[in-house]
Chain A
Amino acid sequence: MSKQINVALIGNPNTGKTSVFNALTGLNQKVGNYPGITVEKKEGVCKLSRNLKAHIIDLPGTYSLNASSLDENVVIELLLNKNDKDFPDVAVVISDVENLKRNLLLFTQIKDLEIPAILVINMSDRMAYKGISLDIEYLEEQLKTKIALVSTRKNKGIEDLKTLISNYKALNTEPCLDASVIDKDYFDNLRKAFPNQLLYKLWLVITQDVNFGKVTRNEFDSIEDFKTKSSAELKKLQQKETIKRYQFINDTLKKGQTIDLKTAKDIRIKLDRILTHKVWGYLIFAIILLLIFQAIYDWSSVPMDFIDSTFAALSEWTRSVLPDGIFTSLLGEGIIPGLGGIVIFIPQIAFLFLFISVLEESGYMSRVVFLMDRIMRRFGLSGKSVVPLISGTACAIPAIMATRNIESWKERLITILVTPFTTCSARLPVYLIIIALVIPEGRFLGLSYQALTLMLLYLIGFATAVGSAYLLNKVLKIRSKSFFVIEMPNYKLPLFKNVALTVVEKTKAFVFGAGKIILAISVVLWFLASFGPGENFNNAEQIVTENWASQELTENELQQKIASYKLEHSFIGITGRAIEPAIRPLGYDWKIGIAILSSFAAREVFVGTLATIYSVGSDEEETIKNRMAGEVNPILGGPLFNLASGISLLLFYAFAMQCMSTLAIVKRETNSWKWPILQLVVMSVFAYLVALAAFQILK
C-alpha cells in the first residue's frame, strides 16, 4: 500500500497558484464545493514516488490569514483545525518572483502556525527580464524553509518541488516571527492561560471575528475572557503585527534579493498607457465586448445547428429501431429531446468561459475594473461589478459568486440583485429559436437583422441591470463603507493549459448541473403529456374516429388528430388550458404556457419542453424549429409565432426571474430569503407587464 500525504497550495491571488496545481496534478483533479458553502474546492492527486502519493488541495487565493471574505476564510478554517481530514502535512506557499515582498507576508504567517512549509518562487523565467537575482541559500536560511524555483510556463522546477514535498519531514517548523513582539503583556497573559497552544494561533482565533467570521473550537472556549481589548485596539495591534512582518521581510530581502533596475524591462507601463487610457481604454474594452458577442452568436451557430439536427435524427432513429412501447416513447419523446436542449448550449458556454478566462488570466480584467469603477459607482455598483455583469452573460450562478470580492456590502447586494438581468446563456436558446422564427432575414449596414435583434436584447439586459441598480441605490437604506482595493497584476500571456482546463471544467459543471434539472423535467413532462385522466383521454381514439367519421381522412391525418386530441386532454393539456386565460393577452397558447411554467425551474427548459410537447405523438423527423413554425394560433389564426407574440416572448424572457439555481445562490450569498423572493416577484411581474404591452401594441 502506498502512503498518501495532504498537501495544501496556498498563495496570493495572481501568483500562478492554479498553474502549479495544474502542473502537479494534470488531469487528476476534481472540483467540488466545501460542505455547506459555495466556495469552490479543487483537489487532485500527484504521484511523488513509487510508494508516496500527494493529495493536493488548491486553496482559494488570499493575501493573508486575516480573512475578509468567505473564500479566504476557508484557508484559515483549514489551517487552524488539526482534526480536519484535509489538514496539510505540508503547506506549499506559492509566490511570484516579481512580488516577493508582499507574497512573503502570507508565508511568514503560515510559518508561525508551525506547519511544515515549502516556498515556491514561481514565474522564475521572468527573473532575467526583470533584472532580479536571488540568493536562495541565504533566503532558505532566513526563512527557515526550502525553496523551489518554478516556472510553470517553461515547465521548470516542478520535479524539484515534488522532491521537496516527498522530503517534507525534514522541513524546519520554527516560526519566523515571535508573536509576543506584538504586545508583550497581553501575550504573556495568553501564554499563561493556554500553555499548550501556539501564541500566533490564539491571536488568529481572537482577531478572526474582528475581520470576518468567528472561529469556533471547543478547545478555545475560554478565549472569550481574553477579548478585553476593543476591536479598534486589536486592529491597531494587527497593523503593528503587519509592520513587524514587513520589517523582517525587508531585512531578509535586502540581502537575499537584488534588483538591477537598469536591465529590468517593463511592458506594464507601455500597455497600461493604452489600455487604461481615458479614450483608448474604453474603446478597446468596447471592441472586446463586441468580439465576445460575435463569437457567441455567429461562430457558435455552426456547431449548434449541427447538434440540433443530430438530436432530431437520433430521436427519430430511436423510434424507428426500438419496438413501440412506453420505454421507446420515454426515450424518444422525453429523454432525447430533453438532452438535446442542454447539449446545444455547449458551444456558447465554452466560448464565453474561454473569453472570460483569457481576460482574467492576462490581467486585463483588473484594468476594466479600474476603468469602470467611477462610472459604476454612479449606479450604486462597484468597478468590480463589471466582472459579475460580464460573467452573467455566461451564467448568473458563478457571476453572483464572483461578487464576493466587492468590499462594500451595499454595492455587493445591488450587484447580486441586478446580475440576473444580464443575458445569461440559458436565455440564448430561447432567443435564438424565437429570433429565427419571427425576425425576417435581411441586412442593415451589413449586419443581419437577426444578429442586431440579439445584440439589442443583450443591451436591454445590461441597461435594465444598470437602471435597476440606480433605483435600488436610491431605495435601499444600507449604510456601508464604500471601500475598494484591487490588485493590478502584471500582464501575462494566458497559459493554454489553464484556459483549456477552466473552459472544460466550467462547461462540464454547467451542463451536468443544468442537465440534471432538464432531464428530470423532460421526463416529468413526457409523463404528464402521455397520460391523462378520464374518458376524454382514454377513449381518444374512439372519440376522434367518431367525430371525423363523416370526412374522408387518410390514416396519417387521423393519427395526427388523435395525437393532438390526446395531448389536449392529458394532464399537461388540462394544466395548460387552465392557465391559458392569463397568458392569452400576451399572445401565447397553452403549449407556450406550459413551456414558460416549466422554465421557472430553468430558462433553458423552454426549448426542451416545446420539443417534448411537440414530439409527443409526432411521427416525422423534424427539427424543433420547423415544428414551432408550423403551429397555428387557435384563436387569431395565422402562425402562432409571429412578430408580436415573438417580441412579447423575447421580452418576457429578458426580464423574468426563471432560474431556481440562481435564487438558491442568492439565498446563500445574502443569507436571507427576503432578497431572492423580492427578485422573483419584482422581475416576473415586470416581465409580464412588458410582454403584455409589447403584444398589445404590435398585434
Chain B
Amino acid sequence: MTLTELKRGQKAIIKDVSSIHIPLKLLEMGCLPGNYVELVQVAPFADPMYLNINGSHLAIRRETANYILIESTDE
C-alpha cells in the first residue's frame, strides 16, 4: 500500500521510495526504506500530510505520498 492509505495516528514501515519521483531532499530528511513513518495530522481534504518520519516531523503533499510504499505495523 502507499503512504496515502495511512490513517491519522497510524504507524508503518517504509518499504520503497521511487527515487525518480522523490527528490533527494526528502530522502535526506529520513524518508528511506526501513524507517518508520507516522501520520500526525492532515490538513482539510487530507492534503498536505503531516508526518513523523524516523523522528523528523515534516509535511508533504498527497501526490508525493503516492510514490512512497509502506507496510503497516498495526496488528
- Name the B residues within 8 Å of A272 (CB-CB): 40-41, 50
Query: A235, B61: Cβ atoms under 8 Å?
Result: no
Number of A-B contacts (CB under 8 A): 110
Q: In the bound complex, what is the Cα–Cα distance between A138 and B49 (angstroms)?
A: 37
Which residue on chain B has the smallest CB distance to residue A276?
A: B41
Q: Among B19, B40, B43, which residue has the most Cβ atoms of chain A within 10 A?
A: B43
The answer to whether B56 and A99 touch across the interface, beta carbons within 8 angstroms, is: yes
Contact of A276 with B43 in the complex, beta carbons under 8 Å:
yes
The CA-CA distance from A487 to B50 in the complex, in Å, is 9
Q: Evaluate contact between A374 and B27: CB separation under 8 angstroms.
A: no
Best-buried of B28, B30, B57 by chain A (most CB within 10 Å): B28
How far is A273 from B55 in the complex, measured between Cα atoms in Å?
18
A239: contacting residue among B27, B55, B60, CB under 8 A: B27
Task: Give min CB distance, B65 to chain A, whole Å.
Answer: 11
Query: Does chain B have a CB within 8 A of A236?
Result: yes
Q: Is A600 an interface residue (CB 8 A)?
A: no
A211 touching B24, Cβ below 8 Å: yes
Confirm or deny: B1 has a beta carbon within 8 angstroms of a beta carbon on chain A.
no
Q: Which residues of A contact B57 (CB under 8 A)?
A: 268, 487-490
- Whether B30 pairs with A485 at a CB distance below 8 angstroms is no
A235 engages B44 (CB within 8 Å)? no
In the complex where A102-B55, A242-B32, A246-B30 touch, is A235 in contact with B43 (Cβ < 8 A)? no
Residue of B nearest to A98 (CB): B55
Main SS class of interface, B:
mixed
Q: Which residue of A lies closest to B51 (CB)?
A: A488
Q: What's the minimum C-beta distance from B46 to chain A, rounded to whole angstroms?
A: 9
Contact assessment for B59 and A488 in the assembled complex, using a CB-CB cutoff below 8 Å:
yes
Nearest chain-B residue to A277 (Cβ)? B41
How long is the Cα–Cα vector from A407 to B58 in the complex, in angstroms? 15
Q: Counting CB contacts under 8 A, is A136 at the interface?
A: no
Residue interface bits A55-66, CB-to-B below 8 A is 1, else 0: 000000001101
Q: CA separation between A373 and B29, bound complex, in Å?
A: 20
Task: Give every chain A residue within 8 A of B64 (Cβ-Cβ).
Answer: 483-485
Contact of B24 among A235, A269, A490 (CB under 8 A): A235
The residue that B50 contacts in the complex, of A66, A235, A278, A488, with Cβ under 8 A, is A488
Given A484-B60, A484-B61, A487-B56, verify A63-B28 contact (CB < 8 Å): yes
B20 engages A485 (CB within 8 Å): no
Q: Is the CB of A485 within 8 A of B58?
A: yes
Contact of B43 among A98, A246, A371, A407 (CB under 8 A): A371
The residue of chain A having its C-beta at the shortest distance from the C-beta of B56 within the complex is A102
Known: A64-B28, A99-B55, A101-B30. A239 touches B44 (CB 8 A): no
B15-52 vs A, Cβ < 8 Å mask (1 yes, 0 no): 00101100111111110110100001101110110100
A483 to B63, CA, bound (A): 8
A340 to B26, CA, bound (A): 49
Within 8 A of B (CB), among A243-286: 243, 246, 268-269, 272-273, 276, 278
Interface string of A225-246 (1 = CB under 8 A from B): 0000000100110110011001
B54 contacts A by Cβ under 8 Å: yes
Is B27 in contact with A68, judged by CB distance below 8 angstroms? no
Question: Cβ of A102 and Cβ of B20 under 8 Å apart?
Answer: no
The verdict on A242 contacting B61 (CB below 8 Å), with A236-B19, A272-B41 known, is no
Within the complex, the shortest CB–CB distance from A243 to chain B, in Å, comes to 6
Report the Cα distance A158→B25, complex, angstroms: 31
For B60, what are the chain A residues with a Cβ–Cβ distance below 8 Å? 484-485
Please give me the residue from chain A that is nearest to B61 by CB atom. A484
Can you list 29 A-B pairs, Cβ within 8 angstroms, ordered by A?
A: A63-B28, A64-B28, A66-B25, A102-B30, A232-B20, A235-B24, A236-B19, A238-B24, A239-B17, A239-B27, A243-B32, A246-B32, A272-B40, A273-B41, A276-B41, A276-B43, A370-B41, A373-B61, A374-B45, A484-B60, A485-B23, A485-B58, A485-B60, A485-B64, A487-B57, A488-B40, A488-B58, A488-B59, A490-B57
Q: A102-B54, A239-B32, A276-B43 are in contact. List 19 more A-B contacts (CB 8 A).
A: A64-B24, A98-B55, A99-B56, A102-B28, A211-B24, A235-B19, A239-B24, A243-B33, A366-B59, A370-B41, A374-B45, A374-B47, A483-B61, A484-B48, A485-B60, A487-B56, A487-B58, A488-B40, A488-B59
